[in-house]
């Protein structure tokens, strides 16, 4: 039997948050076109599936989707903003072995300013606590670090630790998926310093899983300085994304949507072995975007385990001799500190491009709807219709 894959299913582009680093809420998909259970049935066996959006719980048929995916995936993790508490709790009652990651961008004030969700922190945090109380084991925070919330990174990690939760990090990326090309870290040393503190906290723990997370966060320092990835990117070889239209893509980090095939119209084997898929794989081999998101790094960490394992070993040994991890182990951090490279040069290494026209990856039908109403109006009306007002 073919090797199991790592898949991400973007069930919708509708989102009720208003994050400052992602414009997807302005470009929602039309529900009539969103991926159906029939299409999901055609997906291959997977060892891991991430369900994401938009906000996946906007879809009222999410339980049906999870039921179908559960049959073909060993592990499922859903990324959500935590707003639809009742829906999340109901799903977790049915599937106590799934994982839930709630995006929280910092402590209360910072989170609410960044995510633009009314009462977002309290809602997300309350949902997480209820999940822990009902015995869910795989729950946690997901935080995208930027200048505005970097100082909350370690306090949020400590909060998640006290509650016995997972803590997933990311930093700013630009792509069609985020409908964004202007994201960039401005004060790199300040942000890197916070990652350095987190790396040391993680290395100091007794959990091997956290030591490998330390490596991932070390990679984020490398990423925000615009340096080549620490591990090869093999997206589209053993990993895929599928969008709400059934288009199968290598990842969510490309500038424009790269399509390997369409699962509404093709079988999995047809599209996965198609010339279009091969063409995308050739592009991935030459991709220079250097993303460092867990979706592309986690499979690489498993595949090239020797590299992170050696890093962990080296740093655990250092720890035992009371030497902590330093961001200045990264040459680029030293070069910037020593004035050998300028901020402008580092900015040019990033994917930030103020002149870029963004392709949001929407279908013609979804785009047509945006001619009469904004994405926010469409989604607000949608949620109001679903809940009778707004969900409490
Ligand atoms: S580096 Fe990898 S994850 Fe990023 S855009 Fe390129 S192929 Fe996608």
Q: What integer is the mean pLDDT of 250-255?
A: 96
Q: Tens digit of pLDDT for each residue in 168-204?
A: 999 999 999 999 999 999 999 999 999 999 999 999 9
Confidence of residue 388 (pLDDT cuts 50, 70, 90): confident
Nearest ligand 1 atom to alpha carbon 253? 5
- Does 244 score more than 50 pLDDT? yes
Query: What separation in Å is there between the alpha carbon of 35 and the centre of ligand 1?
Result: 23
Query: What separation in Å is there between the alpha carbon of 30 and the centre of ligand 1?
Result: 27
Q: How far is CA 297 from the centre of its chain?
A: 11
Helix (H, G, I), strand (E, B) or coil at 262: strand
- Does 361 score more than 70 pLDDT? yes
H-type alpha helices, the chain? 37-41, 62-72, 85-94, 108-115, 120-133, 153-162, 188-203, 208-224, 268-272, 275-285, 294-303, 306-320, 331-337, 343-349, 364-369, 375-387
pLDDT of the residue at 392: 44
Q: Which of 175, 281, 287, when mutated, tests ligand 1's pocket best, judged by the most ligand atoms within 8 Å of its CB? A: 287
- Does 31 score more than 90 pLDDT? yes
103 in Cβ contact with 139 (< 8 Å): no
- Does 57 score more than 90 pLDDT? yes
Q: How many residues does the chain have?
A: 392
User: b/e map of 9-37 (b: 16 or more CB within 10 Å)?
Assistant: bbbbbbbbbbbebbbbbbbbbbbebbbee
> Ligand 1 — pocket residues by CB below 6 A?
233, 235, 250-251, 253-254, 284, 287, 289-291, 296
Query: What separation in Å is there between the alpha carbon of 290 and the centre of ligand 1?
Result: 6
Confidence of residue 357 (pLDDT cuts 50, 70, 90): confident
pLDDT of the residue at 2: 66
Say how far apart CA 204 and CA 207 lie, in whole Å.
Answer: 9
Q: What integer is the mean pLDDT of 112-126?
A: 87
pLDDT of the residue at 319: 86
Q: What percent of the chain has pLDDT over 70?
A: 98
Q: Whose CA is nearest to atom 7 of ligand 1?
A: 284
Average pLDDT, the chain: 95
Confidence of residue 254 (pLDDT cuts 50, 70, 90): very high
Q: Tens digit of pLDDT for each residue in 204-220?
A: 999 999 999 999 999 99
Query: What separation in Å is there between the alpha carbon of 287 and the centre of ligand 1?
Result: 6
Q: Tens digit of pLDDT for each residue in 59-69?
A: 999 999 999 99
pLDDT of the residue at 33: 97
């Amino acid at each position: 039997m073919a090797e199991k894959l790592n898949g991400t299913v973007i069930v919708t582009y509708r989102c009720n948050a208003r994050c400052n680093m992602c414009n997807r809420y302005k470009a929602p998909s039309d529900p009539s076109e969103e991926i159906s259970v029939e299409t999901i049935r055609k997906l291959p066996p997977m060892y891991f599936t991430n369900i994401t959006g938009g906000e996946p719980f906007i879809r009222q048929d999410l339980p049906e989707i999870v039921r179908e995916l559960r049959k073909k995936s060993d592990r499922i993790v859903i990324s959500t903003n935590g707003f639809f508490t009742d829906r999340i709790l109901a799903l977790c009652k049915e599937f106590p072995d799934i994982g839930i990651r709630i995006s929280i961008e910092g402590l209360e004030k910072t989170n609410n300013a960044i995510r633009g969700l009314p009462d977002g922190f309290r809602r997300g945090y309350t949902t997480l606590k209820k999940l822990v109380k009902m015995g869910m084991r795989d729950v946690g925070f997901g935080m995208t670090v930027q200048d505005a919330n970097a100082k909350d990174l370690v306090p949020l990690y400590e909060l998640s630790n006290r509650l016995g939760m997972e803590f997933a990090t990311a930093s700013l990326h630009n792509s069609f998926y985020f409908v964004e090309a202007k994201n960039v870290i401005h004060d790199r040393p300040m942000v890197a310093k916070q990652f350095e503190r987190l790396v040391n906290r993680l290395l100091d723990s007794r959990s091997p899983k956290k030591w490998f997370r330390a490596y991932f966060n070390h990679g984020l320092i490398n990423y925000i300085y615009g340096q080549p990835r620490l591990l090869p990117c093999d997206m589209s070889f053993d990993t895929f994304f599928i969008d709400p239209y059934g288009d199968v893509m290598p990842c969510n980090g490309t500038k424009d949507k790269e399509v390997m095939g369409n699962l509404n119209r093709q079988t999995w084997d047809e599209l996965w072995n198609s010339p279009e898929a091969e063409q995308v794989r050739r592009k991935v081999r030459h991709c220079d975007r250097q993303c460092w998101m867990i979706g592309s790094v986690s499979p690489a960490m498993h595949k090239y385990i020797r590299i992170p394992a050696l890093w962990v070993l080296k740093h655990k040994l250092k720890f035992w001799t009371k030497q902590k991890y330093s961001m200045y182990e990264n040459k680029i951090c030293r070069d910037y500190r020593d004035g050998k490279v300028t901020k402008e040069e580092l900015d040019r290494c990033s994917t930030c491009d103020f002149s870029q026209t963004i392709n949001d990856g929407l279908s013609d039908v979804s785009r047509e709807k945006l001619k009469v109403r904004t994405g926010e109006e469409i989604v607000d009306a949608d949620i109001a219709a679903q809940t009778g007002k707004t969900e409490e």
